[in-house]
Structure 1
């Protein structure tokens, strides 16, 4: 805005705010009224967190060092009210300045510009979310496309993780255990039928030794993928 008297800042929520210290300085009352006393008196009718928020300002002192000062970011309405309460020609001018700021802020052109900016931010957010979710959705589709129970080795390959890593995760989370002297991977009984199925295979033809092979179902692979490798994935209906 041309002839800026006091800097007006816009918050992330799209609200206009001004510094209490800048208003205090613009009203030219520093010689008769300390800032802290002035703000305490003039803020009695307003609500902290709604009409103003506490912030920290910085200033450079004579030796070049930076000094921190208490400040407050006020709404335009609060700033107008305080300027009017000052009862001085300077306060009247500043109040009129804030009125012009509000008129410009609420002009159709700026309102449209803000709406477009908000829409663009929302679109970018959706696109980012889609980009993040796309590999996970594709993995879900892959599980569904396979449509059958497969071996642990095949499941690890499908999830693009090392077989040893996948097995360790299943063992550490007590979905599988090692059975018999061969240490064959077997699922705990409560998980058979839902996430695992057992298929009998002959492991020693001459002795006709039959040992069940553990296969992982479509639901099981999707469950383990989300649990171990995509914990932020949305729940999928399976």
Structure 2
């Protein structure tokens, strides 16, 4: 009873064989009922309800059978009476409903060259969108990965180099406290432009930002004033001795 209704050409149908088996009829009697309906049909729509086909019997012989849609089944089954016949009719109705629901939920295949082209374009666009999202995600993961030791060491050397270049170019003679103010200034700027709390939190995406910042770095007026104050303090200490 699991094959009461099948799908054929995207339509829910049953066969004369299945009907004969379900209602415990001779197949030849079901065939005769169908032929009678077809031969006496005055409405052309009735002819579209049945499609002649064949099946291979156990003896290897090709025998005639019919496919029929829901309406064709209704015409044939109307003549079957009795409680048991009614039970099978209900099962057929349920089977037709279930198969038609499956058909409705299946994606519709393109029916024309235009629809096939549209499907191909839509599929290409969908694939491209997925690839773009995947690429973006991979780029994000890569850019948010921690900076590798080689890049970290490079930036550390750049900071030291920029501090030293500034001292030399301005002919400054600084003690350790004064020089540390320059390092505090440049490190403070690195944290501000990248939004990190410490240099160890730098990400790959921060590398170019820090590199550009260091190219244009100069100490702030506040830092220079503190260095000058420390210089005055050192000179005062020298006078004390």
Same fold (TM over 0.5): no
TM-score in terms of structure 2 length: 0.39
Please identify which structure carries the higher helix content: 2
Please identify which structure carries the higher strand content: 1
TM-score in terms of structure 1 length: 0.39
Give the number of the structure with larger relative contact order, counting CA–CA contacts within 8 Å between residues 6 or more apart: 2
